[in-house]
Structure formats: structure tokens, C-alpha cells
Amino acid sequence: MPQVYVYLAPGFEEVEAITIVDVLRRADVTVRLVSLTEELAVKGAHDIVVQADLPFTRADQVVDAAILPGGGPGTQYMLKSQPLIDALRQFRRADKSVAAICAAPMVLAKAGILAEVHSTCFPGCEPQLTEGGAIVTAYNVVKDGAITTSRGPATAGQFALELARQLVGGDKATEVGRAMLYL
């Protein structure tokens, strides 16, 4: 069974985080929520508190993918987290998948892993991706190699289903998508 980390920073976008976790768990992916602080209760951008499974300091890199929900304040927090930036670089050096939605692709750009990679982001964040060498598109979900990006809360379902497809295959992703009325 594939295993992934979904990183939660204070101010994360709740719709994105919960949609990703819900869809992937329905697809039988083991999802662990990782708090970027030592506090396991992480408050999102709209004051919804989500309980993480473990703090970043206890998260190793033995999972199959790293996923970053966006949200303006959460992304700003992630951009300042050098340990997260370093972990993302380690994931890519190990040829593991990374994914980010909304403003969070800016974190991938800062980590230096979007150079020459087709990607997308929340409208207005494109300059930061371009500065990181990304080839920016306006598609809702973009997969380029082991990197997947998406635009924002309204695309979270599509994004999560694409991640499910990558992790457990098209048949299971379609089954989950149909059961949830996405397809």
C-alpha cells in the first residue's frame, strides 16, 4: 500500500488538505498528516483545526510522496521552512513524487525542483514559479514526471484523483471518483 505525507503549515487551505486526504484514503493510500510545527493541532486559513499524525521532526522520508496543500498563510510559512525545503529536495533526489496545489507550488520552485517542469498554480503566483524555471500553464492539474501541481480549492478533487491514479492506478482512482460523483 502506498504511503504519503501531507504537510500542514499554520494557515493551510482546509478544502485542499482534507480533499486530498479523503480521496487518497478512499483509494487505500496510507496518508499521514505532518505538522510543520511541534503542535499536532494545526489551524487552517479559515480557523478550522486539523489534528496531524506527527510533527515534522519525527517524519522520515520513507514514504512514496510528499504533498503540499496551499493557502496563502500556509504557503508563506512553508516558504520560510528550510527543513521542509531540504526534505523536498531529498524526495526528488530519491526520485520520489512531490505534489503541490494552489500557492504551494511556489515552495517547489524555491526548492529548485521546478526547473524546466510544466506546472500550474493559483493565479498570481506564476512569477515565482517562472523565477524557479518552471514552464507555467493554466491547466487545472499538471503532471510532469514525478511532479504534480494544481490551481486551487476548486481543483482539489481533480488533483487528489490524479494523485490516486499515480499511486494506486487508474481503475481504483476511477472507482473512487465515481463513488464520490467526481466522474
Best CA proximity match to 37, nearest among 87, 83, 69: 83
Catalytic residue among 78, 102, 104, 136: 102
Answer yes or no: are the C-beta atoms of 109 and 131 closer than 8 Å. yes
Cα–Cα distance measured from residue 93 to residue 39, given in angstroms and rounded to the nearest whole number: 29
CA distance 12 to 30: 20
Reply yes or no on whether 102 is catalytic. Answer: yes
Strand partners of residue 49: 43
Q: Say if CB 168 and CB 29 are below 8 A apart.
A: yes
Q: Which residues are catalytically annotated?
A: 102
